[in-house]
Structure 1
Amino acid sequence: MSKVDSEDSWILFVVGVALAAFIVSKFSPHLGLDMATGGMVLARLAVWVVAVGLSWKLSDEFPALGLKAIWPLLLSLHWLCWWPALDFWAVKGVAPHLVRQEMLPWWAAWYTRWGVLLGIAAWGYIMKKLFDRD
């Protein structure tokens, strides 16, 4: 067995940060985002992937937390991961200090975001109820 010395652990941290920055720098331009917004979206997606993985892992011990039980909620959370990108796209080209809620397009307004979030969850649970085989 090999043991990592605590004196060398900073190297692993630096490599991890550099790798994360590289991934964000490649991800962001493909979606027309800046680095900060791309980082926020990727961080939220990483948390979402962990939540999906935990749901999958815990499905045997806790069926109420399994993918089969909460997939509509997980789909809603996936939509939530993209909210920083919606903010960025909505105010692209406008100085940040000039942005007001009334200036946002309908697709970036709070009522659309929350409506789509609740709509995804409701649609998912309705589909789950309709196609449940229990």
Structure 2
Amino acid sequence: MPRMADSASGRSCVFCEIVKGERPAHIVLDTPDALAFLDARPLFKGHTLLVPRTHYETLPDLPAELLAPYFGHAQRLAAAMESVLGAAGSFVAMNNRISQSVPHLHVHVVPRNPKDGLRGFFWPRHKYDSDAEAADYAARLSAALADST
């Protein structure tokens, strides 16, 4: 059975700390079952992480009844990348154990544009110029998601 508050290693989980409000993050989506926030090391500005509020390490651990609501949130985030950020499309990805930097299930939703430099798995990182800029991206995406419910 998956652990509910800690990673399998027994260490505290960064994403659980964000969910509990114990660690700051730029929140994009806040629902009873999931939370989305800007990635602290974004591939591109607007790169968002979607996590279930309950700690599940991988997709196979997520209960079947949560699949549709969870990926419904991912679908809305992908649409917001285009409608709010003007992206031509999005990259939606998930790792399970291998290359999973935080052992808490999460989906990356990344705005994409032609010739943006993202090739294969050698991804450039683009930092926000300031905390205020990150807050602006989070607010814009959050407003679009609120409008789509």
TM-score range, shorter chain: under 0.3
TM-score of the superposed pair, with normalisation by structure 2: 0.23
Which is higher, the Rg of structure 1 or of structure 2? 1
| Greater share of residues in strand | 2
**Greater relative contact order, per chain length (Cα 8 Å cut-off, separation 6+):** 2
